[in-house]
Amino acid sequence: MAGSYRNFQQQKSRGIVMPLTNRACQAAKPKIKSYKMADGEGLYLEVTPAGTKLWRLKYRLHGKEKRISMGAYPTVSIVDARKAKEEIKKEISFGVDPVLKRWQTAQTNALRQQLDFKSMSMEWYDKQVPLWKPKHAAIIKHRFEKYIFPSLGEFPLAEIKPLLMLSCLQKMEKTAPDLTRRMKAMCSHVFKYAIATGRAENDPTYGLEAALKKFKSGHYAAISVDEFPEFLSCLTHYQPHVHRQTFLALRLLLLTFVRTCELVEAQWEEIHFEKAMWVIPAERMKMNLPHMIPLSRQALAIFRELKEMNGEREFIFPGYYHPRKPMSKNTMLVAIKRMGYSGKMTGHGFRSLALGILKEKLGYAHEIADRQLAHVPKSSVDRAYDRALFLPQRIKMMQEYADYIDQVESKRGNED
């Protein structure tokens, strides 16, 4: 081994650079000052006074001589050092500075470690808020804070592996099975945003749906068209037992079949009495599009009565205890339950009921009835080309629908 080291020194003194051998590297002893053992093409082993042996590569870039360290011998073997040298020389040939690249990689990795999931989620959330309705944005934030952040919020993105993500989602399944897959999708959006902005390399939510329980969401409870006469009779007889505003709200829900939140949050500026039209602005609609509701004579009569009751208020249905806020959606649901229709009918059920009556009893095409429900075509192509509002047909339809309700009520009253 000593002879190998002497041969290396003799070749060096004659200006001959021979590739290093393991024996020469192992035999190298420390001296008072650091010294170099060349391997060729800029690669050398530096032996320090402390006996540490460090691989270094000398190179030139943009006319300047630079050096980069490549690890310590024998942890990094001669073969590994030479492979690293070849990779670095390829980068240099493309004008890439290996020292700068290493620094950038270290900074990126440090940033990834410091950036926790909560910070990344809120950064993504702030980007989405302008696209969402305030109410939807508040719901999304609440769900992250309730279900995701307690388990994953403080973890660096790089440390969140599929198993950790799955553990969080399975914990959520126990209390909110209907939301689990939706929150998985939300978390996936966060990771995709992080990948797109260079702060993550993969999405640990990918494929986890296979390990989650399948949740089948049911439809909103709604009575059938055949059950409608009995329900209408029950509503009429229930009138003396409920607050007048609540009763009128139920009647309007029946006559206009809007969503419950669209009704209780309605404001007087949306009602155009002279045109017999209710125009709900886009920001209050689920699909973020304005919606026109032709008002029948019966619906207009109810709005006029409400105008006398609440005309000085901002909301058509002000809260009973907090009149500057709209009435609670649950007010009508409680009334429906007290009528004996718990689990059989909901506020949203009026929409299904109306659709059935319009198609089965009045013979209207699905496209016209569906447009009155403020549904839009599911296909993006259909949405682009089908802009028909069917407004003349809907004006006629809404009056016929209100008249049909009166006929059913009158017939049921005669039978009673």
Instruction: Give the number of other Cβ atoms within 10 Å of residue 331's Cβ.
Output: 21
In a domain, 147, yes or no: yes
Among residues 53, 284, 351, 394, the one annotated as catalytic is: 351
* 133 and 31 share one domain: no
In a domain, 220, yes or no: no
Whether the ω angle into residue 74 lies within 30 degrees of 0, i.e. cis, is: yes
In a domain, 252, yes or no: yes
* 305 and 250 share one domain: yes
- For residue 386, the domain's CATH number is 1.10.443.10
* 154 and 191 share one domain: yes
* 179 and 282 share one domain: no
* 379 and 335 share one domain: yes
* 232 and 381 share one domain: yes
* 292 and 380 share one domain: yes
Among residues 189, 286, 307, 337, the one annotated as catalytic is: 286
Cα–Cα nearest to 276, from 261, 255, 260 = 255
Among residues 259, 284, 291, 371, the one annotated as catalytic is: 259
In a domain, 165, yes or no: yes
In angstroms, rounded to a whole number, what is the distance separating the alpha carbons of residues 403 and 414? 17
Cα–Cα nearest to 187, from 111, 115, 118 = 118
**pLDDT value of position 6:** 55
Active site residue 324: no
Q: What is the 3-state secondary structure (H, E, C) of 114-158?
A: HCEHHHHHHHHHHHHHHHCCHHHHHHHHHHHHHHHHHHHCCCEHH
Select from 178, 211, 244 the last residue of a domain: 211
The answer to whether 335 touches 329, Cβ cutoff 8 Å, is no
* 271 and 401 share one domain: yes
The two tokens of residue 84 are 């690293």
In a domain, 361, yes or no: yes
* 287 and 153 share one domain: no
Active site residue 375: yes
In a domain, 256, yes or no: yes
In angstroms, rounded to a whole number, what is the distance separating the alpha carbons of residues 179 and 160? 21
Place of tokens 């630079």: 66
The boundaries of the domain holding residue 410 are: 228-415
pLDDT in tens, the chain (416 residues): 445 445 545 555 555 567 889 999 999 999 999 999 999 888 999 999 999 999 999 988 877 888 888 889 999 999 999 998 998 888 888 878 888 888 777 666 655 555 789 999 999 999 999 988 888 899 999 999 999 999 999 898 888 999 999 999 999 998 888 889 999 999 999 999 999 988 888 999 999 999 988 765 555 678 889 999 999 999 999 999 999 999 999 999 999 999 999 999 999 999 999 999 999 998 888 777 888 999 999 999 999 999 999 999 999 999 988 999 999 989 999 999 999 998 888 888 898 899 999 999 999 988 888 888 877 555 554 444 344 578 899 999 999 999 999 999 888 766 66
In a domain, 109, yes or no: no
Q: Are strands 271-272 and 64-73 parallel, antiparallel or unpaired?
A: unpaired
Active site residue 73: no
- For residue 74, the domain's CATH number is 3.30.160.390
Active site residue 286: yes
- For residue 202, the domain's CATH number is 1.10.150.130
